[in-house]
Amino acid sequence: MRTIKGPGLFLAQFSAEAAPFSSLPAIATWAAGLGYTGVQVPSGDARFLDLDRAAGSQDYCDEIAGQAAGAGVAITELSAHLQGQLVAVHPAYDAAFDGFAAPHVRGNPKARQDWATDQVKKALTVSRRLGLKAMAAFSGALAWPYLYPWPQRPPGLVEEAFDELARRWRPILDHAEEEGVDICYEIHPGEDLHDGASYEMFLDRVGNHPRACMLYDPSHYVLQHLDYLAHIDIYHSRIRMFHVKDAELNPTGRQGVYGGFQSWVDRAGRFRSPGDGQVDFGAVFSKLTQYGFDGWAVVEWECCLKHPEDGAREGAEFVKRHIIRVTDKAFDDFANAGTDRAANRRMLGLEG
């Protein structure tokens, strides 16, 4: 067993034009002041990181790492969620997702996909330059609009979508292998990899690629009414990243999992700050510790009610309370009689 690292904070939801949220040194100093020891950095946010420059310069990467260290935190991982989303976009979402891309590729789905693929590869290279072993991403989605099987899906439709998804990601996964960095797909509604079954469909098509790993976020499983503890039992060998994010699902006579097109605050399922929802984090931390997870516990603030700065402040203490310092001894060592094989055989009645 190993002790989970943390607390870490995902910076994406706090990035802003105003100080201290507009530069890596300032936001890292703010996070350290709240008690965080690590920050997860969105690779596409130029306020924190120039990805193109970092991909070509070890000196610049050392500078970025030094800025974080000077503030009193480590960089836990990079995130390439938004670029990964653009690796595979169904045409129904072209307009909605175009804003994630660089201006020069907007309105051109093929150019946008090529740009996104290059960005994810660069983020993997930068991860290696920063000494990181894992990177977060979304898988993107081609089959998602056909999630509910009505109208009846044509035979082979979903299979073709996953075949294509694997074709697009296999070269990126091979680059991840070259860089020695795991791609941790956040299992997330809206992505084709949104639960264990869909993750396995993808894994089969990329030949059980050793770099096709998971970012575990129990909030997304609560909203699907999926057993988030059994999920750890099944996939612990692939879980390499962990978001501490809470959620609640309170179905009514009017709505359930699908939410009835309501705003976040009015949905049956909604995100909450850590400790305010229904996730049993005591059990989550215990499971991950049991299986030897030694990555970071990273708070991702997404709450429909609480102010983000309050959520960040409370989140640091919440994670500290839940991290389990693993034992180096058995609780009943005091009763060890120090027997040997001969004594054991005598206890079993095997010696005359």
Domain that holds residue 228: 5-347
Quickly state the pLDDT bin for 226 (edges 50, 70, 90).
very high
Residue 63 · residue 115 · CB < 8 Å = no
Residue 65 · residue 54 · CB < 8 Å = no
| Number of separate domains in the chain | 1
Query: What CATH number corresponds to the domain at position 323?
Result: 3.20.20.150
Query: In the prediction, which pLDDT does 352 show?
Result: 57
For 244, phi then psi, to 5°, come to: -90, 95
Residue 352 lies in a domain: no
Residue 61 lies in a domain: yes
What DSSP designation does 273 have?
Answer: -
The rounded distance, in Å, linking the Cα atoms of 263 and 240 is 32
Number of Cβ within a 10 Å radius of residue 344:
11
Which residues, 6 or more positions from 64, have their beta carbon under 8 angstroms from its beta carbon? 24, 49, 54, 75, 130
Burial (Cβ within 10 Å: 0-12, 13-18, ≥19) of residue 138: buried
Query: In the prediction, which pLDDT does 280 show?
Result: 98
9 forms beta bridges with 39, 299
Residue 89 lies in a domain: yes
Query: In the prediction, which pLDDT does 342 show?
Result: 85
Residue 261 lies in a domain: yes
Residue 274 lies in a domain: yes
Residue 148 lies in a domain: yes
Can you tell me the mean pLDDT for 52-76?
98
Place of tokens 């965080």: 36
Q: What is the mean pLDDT of the chain?
A: 96
How much helix, strand and coil, in percent to the nearest 5, is found in the chain? 45, 15, 40
The rounded distance, in Å, linking the Cα atoms of 313 and 308 is 9
Alpha carbon of residue 121 to chain centroid? 17
Summarised one tens digit per residue, pLDDT across range 111-156 is 999 999 999 999 999 999 999 999 999 999 999 999 999 999 999 9
Residue 140 lies in a domain: yes
Residue 241 lies in a domain: yes
Which residues, 6 or more positions from 58, have their beta carbon under 8 angstroms from its beta carbon? 129
Place of tokens 């309050």: 310
pLDDT of 351 higher than 90:
no
89 forms beta bridges with 141
pLDDT of 336 higher than 90:
no
